[in-house]
A = this chain, B = another copy of it.
Amino acid sequence: MRQYETAELCLQGSAPKGSEAVVDLTAVFGKDGKTWNVKGFYTGNGQYKVRFLPEECGTYTYKITGSVLQAPVFGTFEAESADSLHHGPVRADGTALFYADGTRFTGFGTTVYAMLHQSDALMAETFETLSESPFNKVRLCVFPKHYNYNHNNPRFYAFQRTGQAKDLTFEVPEGSEAAFSITAKDGENWDVHHPVAAFWDAFEEGLRKLQELGIEADLILFHPYDRWGFSAMKQEDNLVYLDYLLRRFSAFPNVWWSLANEYDLCPEISLRDWEEIEAFVAEHDPFHHLLSNHNCLCPWDWSRKDTTHVSWQSKQFRRVSELMQKYGKPVLFDECRYEGNLPESWGNISGKRMVQSFWRVMSQGGHCTHGETFFPGSKEAEANTATGESEVVWWARGGKLHGESPARIAFMRGIFDSLPGPLEPSADGLAAAMSMPDETFKKMEAAMPASFRVFGESMLAMGKRERELFAMTEPEYGGHAGDLAFLRYLDTECCARTELRLPENHRYRVDLIDTWNMTRETVLTGVSGKVNVPCYGREYCAVLALKEE
C-alpha cells in the first residue's frame, strides 16, 4: 500500500440477494482519530472488494461489516510514502487547483468523450497519443456516445439489459444527430442492479492507464448524446448506478466527477434530479474528489456547496475574473470549441484560435480544455484509418491528433509549469474597470487624477449593460502570482513595444514569448516600476515578468 495509490481489499462472502450493485458491505478506515466510511462492491462468484485511497503515510486500521459477510473483518495496513509519480487527488484551494501533496495543478485538458468505449487497437493508439501530448486532464464519458461522426456501439454496456431478449442491437436512427428524443421508456432498457463486470473492469483499466500517464479523468456521469437509454433512466436507477460507480471509482486518485456533459440538454433529468445527483455523489465519495457540472447553454449554479469548481462551456474568456470573484472557486473552460473543420461552429476553429483560447483563459489563472474534430475522411483525419475504423474523430473516439495546437499547448505548459505560483487575474485595465460593480467603480473614479475624470464620467454614463458588453471585446488578458510573476497575453495586439507596471520595490526579468512560433527570450533584466518592453509587433505574443532573486 502506498500513499496516493488505490488500496484494494478482497473478501469472500455470500452472493448478494437481489441487487448486485447495492450490496450491504461497509468498511471503516481509521488513522490518528480520523475515519473514512467506504462501501464495498460485488465482483461475482461470491467475491467482494473494498477500495481505499490513503492520503497520508502510516498505519491505517479497518473494520469491514455487512450482511454478505459471515463475520466482520478487521485489519491494519501500512501506507508507504508516495513515489515521485503520485501526487494525490487534485483539489481546489480558493481559485487555484493543487494535488493533495501541494503540487500546483494547471488544467491542460483535452476531450475524448467515448475514449473507453473503443476497440483495443484504437484505445492503444489514443493512450499512445496522450502519452506524447501536453494534456493532464481528459473529459470522458462513462456511458457510450451517439452523435454526428460517432455512431459505433460500445464494446460493453455497463448493465445487463432488461427483458427476455436482452437484445444488444441498437440501430443508428436515420438522420438523428443528438438523440434528444430519448424518453423514459428507453431508460427502462437497463437493469442497473446487474452491472456487467466486463464493462467496469475495462473502464477501470482505462482509468489506471490515465493515472500512469499523469492524466486526470474528468468523468462525465451523464450526457444526452445517447441512443441506448442511459440518459433517460429513472432517477432511482441513476442513484443505483452512481452508488455502484462510487464504490468502484472513488478510491482512484485521478477521478473528477462531472455530473454531465451538457446537463441542460437531458430532457429526462430535471434540475431537481441534478441537485439530488450532486448531493448523492458528494455524500457517497469518501475522498471528496472535484465535482462540477457542465452546460451547453445555461450555466450550472457553481455557487452550490458541493460544486468545487466552475466547469463552463463558453467562449467568454473575458469573464474569468468575474467568475473567480463570484464563486471563489477555480474556473475551468471545459469546452470552448474544437480545433477542426466540421460544418458545426463548435467544431471548426483553427489551431491558432485553440491556442489563443488557452492563453486567454490561463493568463488570467483559469484552466482550459482542448478538443479536436477533423472531418472523418478529410486529409487531416486520414491517418485515423490506421485502425481500419471509419468515423474516428479525436473528440469522440481518440486515435491520433492532427491539429496545430497540441505542440503550442505543450510549449505553453512548459512556461506555466515553471511559474512560481498560480495566477490570479490582473485588474489594472479598462475592461477590468468596466466590469466592476458600480460602487467599486465609483470609488475608483473618485480617486482618478482630475484630467482622467472625463473617462470615469463617461463610463458611469454608459450604465452597467453597456459597460459589460464593452468589456467583453477588450483584449485584456493577464494575471500575476503575487509580486513574483506578472504575465500579460497580448492576444491580437501587434505592438512594437508594450508597457508593464511592475512593483517599484523589486527587480524583474522580462521575457518576451511568441506563443505561436514557440520562442521565448529575455528582453529586459533588473527592471522595476513602469517598463517599456520591446515586442515583435505580431499577434499572439506574451510578456512575462519574473521577480529576480
Q: Enumerate chain A interface residues (CB-CB to B < 8 A).
A: 180-181, 224, 264-267, 295-299, 314-317, 319, 340-345, 348-350, 352-353, 375, 378, 450-455, 457-459, 461-462, 465-466, 468-470, 472-476, 492-499, 532, 537-539
Contacts and interface: CB of A to CB of B under 8 A. Distances in A.
12 contacts: A264-B457, A267-B453, A296-B455, A297-B458, A297-B459, A298-B461, A341-B495, A342-B495, A348-B537, A349-B493, A353-B539, A472-B472
Contacts of A299: 462, 466
A349 B494 contact: yes
Contacts of A375: 496
A466 B378 contact: no
A93 B294 CA distance: 46
Contacts of A451: 180-181
B494 A315 contact: no
Nearest to A539: B350
A267 B341 CA distance: 51
A51 to B, nearest CB: 36
B458 A264 contact: yes
A470 B180 contact: no
Contacts of A319: 469
Instruction: Report copies per complex.
Output: 2
A470 B297 contact: yes
A345 B458 contact: no
Q: A-B pairs with the 4 shortest C-beta distances?
A: A264-B458, A297-B458, A315-B473, A341-B537
A492 B458 contact: no
A263 to B, nearest CB: 9
Contacts of A296: 455, 458
Contacts of A475: 345
A412 B457 CA distance: 39
Nearest to A492: B353
Interface centre among A344, A459, A496 (most CB of B within 10 A): A496
A229 B474 CA distance: 32
A475 B346 CA distance: 10
B267 A454 contact: yes
Contacts of A497: 343
B350 A473 contact: no
Contact of A316 (B458, B473, B476): B473
A131 B475 CA distance: 33
Nearest to A495: B348
A319 to B, nearest CB: 7
B472 A297 contact: no
A469 B350 contact: no
Contacts of A267: 453-454
A349 to B, nearest CB: 6
